[in-house]
Amino acid sequence: MKTITSFFLALTATFFISCGENSDAQIITDVESLKINESNVSMYSTDNNINLSATVYYKDGSNADATAFVSWRSSDTAIANVSNGSVAVGSRNGGDTNITVSYENITSLPTHLNIITLNDYTISMIDADANATGTYQLLATATFEDNKTKVIEKNIVWDVNNSAIVSGVGSLTTVQIVSTGDTNITSTLFNDINMTKTIIYTVN
Residues 141 and 74 in one domain: no
Give the chain's domain count. 2
What was the pLDDT predicted at 51?
93
Check: CB of residue 103 under 8 Å from CB of residue 69: yes
What was the pLDDT predicted at 10?
34
- Give one DSSP letter per residue of the chain, joined into a string: -HHHHHHHHHHHHHHHHHHHHHHHHHHHHTEEEEEES--SEEEETTPPPEE--EEEEETTS-EEE-TTTSEEEES-TTTEEEETTEEEE--TT-EEEEEEEEETTEEPPPEEEEEEPEEEEEEEEET--TT--EEEEEEEEEEETTS-EEE--SSEEEEES-TTTEE--SS-SEEEE-SSEEEEEEEEETT-GGGEEEEEEEE-
What was the pLDDT predicted at 204?
75
Residues 76 and 150 in one domain: no
What was the pLDDT predicted at 47?
83
Residues 106 and 137 in one domain: no
Residues 79 and 56 in one domain: yes
Residue 4 inside a domain? The answer is no
What was the pLDDT predicted at 67?
94
Residue 24 inside a domain? The answer is no
> pLDDT averaged over consecutive 10-residue blocks of the chain (204 residues)?
33 35 46 94 86 94 92 93 88 88 94 93 80 78 94 84 69 70 85 86 77
Residues 50 and 79 in one domain: yes
What was the pLDDT predicted at 150?
92
Residues 111 and 133 in one domain: no
What was the pLDDT predicted at 120?
92
What was the pLDDT predicted at 203?
75
Residue 187 inside a domain? The answer is yes
Residue 17 inside a domain? The answer is no
Q: Which amino acid is at 164?
A: A
What was the pLDDT predicted at 101?
96
Residue 110 inside a domain? The answer is yes
Residue 54 inside a domain? The answer is yes
Residue 143 inside a domain? The answer is yes
The enclosing domain of 127 has a CATH number of 2.60.40
Host domain of residue 64: 31-116
Residues 6+ apart with CB under 8 A from 168: 174, 175, 176
What was the pLDDT predicted at 29?
53
Distance CA(100)–CA(172), nearest Å, equals 35
Residues 87 and 44 in one domain: yes
pTM of the entire structure? 0.69
Q: Which of residues 75, 93, 116 is at a domain's end? A: 116
Residue 26 inside a domain? The answer is no
* Nearest of 20, 26, 97, 111 to residue 67 by alpha carbon: 111
